[in-house]
Amino acid sequence: MASQVAIIELLGLLELSKASLAKQRDILLEWQSHHPEAETSTFLQHLSAHLGIYPSTVLLHPKETLQTDKGQALFYEIAPQTWILIKTDERGKRWIYHGNGPDIKRLPLRLGALQQLIGKKSVCWLKWTKSSDLNTENKKITPRQRLRQFLKPEGRELLLILGYAIAMGIMSLGIPIASQSLVNTVALGTLRQPLIALCIVLLIALGFLALLRTLQLILVEMLQRRIFVRLAQVSMERLLKLEGLYRQKRRIPEVVNRFLDVVNIQKSLSFLLLDGLALLLQALTGLLLLAFYHPFLLVFDVLLIFCMLFILFALGLGGESSSIKESYQKYAMVAWLEELAAHPRLFRSHSGIQFASWKTENQLHAYLKAREDHFRVLLRQNVGAHTLQSTAFTGLLALGGWLVIEGQLTIGQLVAAELIVANILANFAKVGKHLETWYDMMSGFDKVSYLLDLPQETTQVSLLQQQNAPMEFVFEHVSCSQNGYTDKVELDLVGKAGETLALMGVNTWQSDTLLELLYGLRPPQQGLILVDDQPLHQLNSIAYRNQVAFVGQLELIEGSILDNLRLGQKDLSRSAARELLQQVGLWQEVQHFPDTLDTKLSYNGFPFSPSDAHRLMLARALSMRPRLMMIDGTLDQIDWHVQDPILELLFKTPGFTLLVVTNQEPLLDHFDRVMAFDTEGQLQEYPRQRKLN
């Protein structure tokens, strides 16, 4: 591991958090006292987790490293005292910071310099994605402000795209200018050589134009990829740190659907940067050329630009807001269809089918009304654009013809002017397509803002001391209510280290609230929660939950059995996983699957039965070696004939304090204490001989 001085300087370069470097140094000192031989990269992962940041590891070739997003910081440890960090400065320039012992050197990011340090082979980097540029700290911002946020880190690429577009706009004048020269040459009856030279020059200009378009296309493609990666990374971080109470107000999977609008953003941004910007600059350069032909054409330019602006802004009033309202109705329809799919039995009866039809019809009416309002804006802009096309083209023909008759304009200039204006107006007549693309992009940014503005947990830096002993917790005069009037909870509870406690009342609001309070998912309205004599609200939630296992409703990922057991614990071997499954009595069932530990599971645990899926969750919790185990109704979901090995495992395994919520009275004799909430929301001792109604 690198020296403390070098690591402190490295932390200053990384800027992982707004937390002071002094607090990060305290974490470093504590870490080094327990892990003196650990690698620097391992410590950085540990620190990032405590700060609520989620770095990833990625295998990159040196050439691929140069193409990574500017919003990303990359770290690679070459040797125990030698490392490199790739980071972007405030001006958008990327640097290599090379640490060798206590010395740190800064080098411009170049392929040659990078290969000298790490060689020409792919290496595994530790990667952080900077999300602060998209973080609004729960303040709502407009879609246009969000657009600026996304494009701010891409300033250099946008300047290149703009430069290419300007050059393309100038090159696009080659056709009308060549046409003008051709007409004049033919009219004068000169030799063939000028005609051949003119064609060669035009071919070179158009070839260069094609090259610029290709380079611009590559830049825009890289920009699209970076937007997708940045939004996905930030959305992941926001979801992982989502405020616990918000989950009760909104259906989070339905909110996540809005991530799909990143595709609209990518396509719209690509179209506007490639086509929209090119059309704008071609129009400006073309109109500028007309202004040099004659003063009357300059007046024509001014009138044409004024009419275009009137169509874009005056006739487009309400376009963005109506597009956003239309997108709301689209997602409302998607949410309703998801609800139909989530309740397959509820809507199979006659009354259920009638309700589904009525609800769907109402949603469709709402969407059609929103679409009609938005289309009304698009229609008037399209009508205005087509009207301008016909009148402006006719007006230019009349004005140009009169100037030719008066001898103030050549025939070649008239032909060039007609070609320029015809191209401008033909493209502007497609304004509906361009504007709808713009409106779609604005509604897309409005939708992804739902993910970027999700309320977040407060990240603390204080750490809970890592111990091998069971955890102790205390509720001191804690109170919490669901709506301020009913469903109150009043808690005064001490959970001694190593104690086993049962709480009667699965699926009650009071029991769920107690577990959420102890897991740190919601703060108490009054009182104090202590964990090992430390206030819970002052502890880093990630570090605290590393020592707590919470097993509740079925939560499995779509992956292999081994993936579900590991869940990020890379050090869990296959043999250790097999031993865990044997402890919960699942290994025999797993052996029946052709792929054993590599068997793919669905989100609901199939091909496991519900009982077996809950046993798998218990095995995963035990693999964490927690100091506190909280089980919410899981034992009630396990078949009675396979409960014995589970109970023996839970009550005879030392090392953790156990808190179980259950409705099964036969289990109560195993616990040191049994509690239940009374009608006033106060926690009382539960008489074990009492039978449930």
**3-class secondary structure for 236-252?**
HHHHHCECCCHHHHCCH
How does 563-584 read in b/e, with b if 16+ C-beta sit within 10 Å? bbbbeeeeebeeeebbebbebb
Q: How many domains does the chain have?
A: 3
Are residue 92 and residue 164 in the same domain, yes or no? Answer: no
Residue 135 lies in a domain: no
Residue 690 tokens, joined: 């009492």
Q: What is the pLDDT of residues 185-220, one digit of tens each?
A: 666 555 566 777 777 877 887 788 888 888 888 888
Residue 460 lies in a domain: no
Residue 65 tokens, joined: 């490293």
Are residue 84 and residue 170 in the same domain, yes or no? Answer: no
DSSP 534-581: EEGGGB-HHHHHTTEEEE-S----SSBHHHHHHTT-TT--HHHHHHHH
Residue 691 has pLDDT above 50, yes or no: no
**Residue of 50, 40, 108 lying closest to 75 (CA atoms):** 40
* Bigger pLDDT: 183 vs 272: 272
The lowest-confidence range among 8-17, 406-415, 504-513 is 8-17
The three-class DSSP label of residue 605 is coil
Q: What is the pTM of this model?
A: 0.74
Cα distances (Å, whole numbers) of residue 454 to 112, 138, 237, 539: 42, 7, 10, 22
**Residue of 305, 219, 241 lying closest to 50 (CA atoms):** 241
Neighbouring CB atoms inside 10 A of 324's CB total: 19
Model pLDDT, residue 435: 83
pLDDT category of residue 503 using cuts at 50, 70 and 90: very high
Model pLDDT, residue 187: 62
Residue 136 lies in a domain: no
**Rg, C-alpha atoms of the chain:** 33
**Tell me, what CATH number does 495's domain have?**
3.40.50.300
pLDDT category of residue 54 using cuts at 50, 70 and 90: low
Residue 468 lies in a domain: no
Are residue 167 and residue 257 in the same domain, yes or no? Answer: yes
Residue 185 lies in a domain: yes
Are residue 369 and residue 239 in the same domain, yes or no? Answer: yes
Q: Check residue 692 and report its DSSP letter.
A: P
**Full residue range of the structural domain in which residue 352 is found:** 143-452
pLDDT category of residue 693 using cuts at 50, 70 and 90: very low
* Bigger pLDDT: 341 vs 72: 341
Are residue 319 and residue 182 in the same domain, yes or no? Answer: yes
Residue 329 has pLDDT above 90, yes or no: yes
Residue 653 tokens, joined: 């395994």
Average pLDDT of the residues in 151-159 = 81
User: Which of 130, 154, 183 is a domain's end point?
Assistant: 130
> Distance (Å, rounded) from C-alpha 264 to C-alpha 440?
7
Residue 82 has pLDDT above 90, yes or no: no
**Left, alpha or beta for 567 (phi > 0: left; psi -120 to 50: alpha)?**
left
Residue 467 lies in a domain: no
pLDDT category of residue 92 using cuts at 50, 70 and 90: confident
Average pLDDT of the residues in 667-683 = 85
Q: What is the pLDDT of residues 102-114, one digit of tens each?
A: 678 888 888 888 8
Query: Rounded to the nearest 10 degrees, what angle do helices 4-14 and 21-34 cross at?
Result: 140
Model pLDDT, residue 688: 66
> Distance (Å, rounded) from C-alpha 131 to C-alpha 230?
8
Model pLDDT, residue 692: 41
**Left, alpha or beta for 464 (phi > 0: left; psi -120 to 50: alpha)?**
beta
* Bigger pLDDT: 130 vs 396: 396
Are residue 293 and residue 193 in the same domain, yes or no? Answer: yes
> Distance (Å, rounded) from C-alpha 527 to C-alpha 283?
67
Are residue 484 and residue 439 in the same domain, yes or no? Answer: no
Residue type, 494: V
Residue 691 lies in a domain: no
Residue 464 has pLDDT above 90, yes or no: no
Strand partners, 105: 98
Could you give the percent of the chain with pLDDT greater than 90?
Answer: 14
Are residue 363 and residue 448 in the same domain, yes or no? Answer: yes
> Distance (Å, rounded) from C-alpha 591 to C-alpha 278?
63
pLDDT category of residue 308 using cuts at 50, 70 and 90: confident
End-to-end CA separation in angstroms for the chain:
62
Average pLDDT of the residues in 430-456 = 84
Residue 692 lies in a domain: no
User: Which of 84, 105, 130 is a domain's end point?
Assistant: 130
Q: What is the pLDDT of residues 581-636, one digit of tens each?
A: 988 888 888 888 898 898 999 888 889 898 999 999 999 998 888 999 999 988 88
Residue 136 tokens, joined: 């609004």
The three-class DSSP label of residue 451 is helix
Q: Pick the most confident of 78-82, 142-146, 331-335.
A: 331-335
As a whole number, the mean pLDDT across the chain is 81
**Tell me, what CATH number does 213's domain have?**
1.20.1560.10
**Any idea of the CA torsion for 603, 609, 610, 613, to the nearest 10 degrees?**
-60
Q: How many residues make up the chain in this entry?
A: 693
Average pLDDT of the residues in 498-519 = 88
Residue 527 tokens, joined: 């009182």
pLDDT category of residue 336 using cuts at 50, 70 and 90: very high
Are residue 69 and residue 163 in the same domain, yes or no? Answer: no
Could you give the percent of the chain with pLDDT greater than 70?
Answer: 84
The three-class DSSP label of residue 368 is helix
User: Which of 105, 130, 155 is a domain's end point?
Assistant: 130
Lookup result for tokens 């709506």: 483
> Distance (Å, rounded) from C-alpha 438 to C-alpha 619?
51
Residue 660 has pLDDT above 90, yes or no: yes
Are residue 125 and residue 226 in the same domain, yes or no? Answer: no
Model pLDDT, residue 531: 92
Are residue 122 and residue 219 in the same domain, yes or no? Answer: no
* Bigger pLDDT: 186 vs 692: 186
What is the enclosing helix (H) or strand (E) of 661? strand 657-662
Residue 37 has pLDDT above 70, yes or no: no
Are residue 504 and residue 593 in the same domain, yes or no? Answer: yes
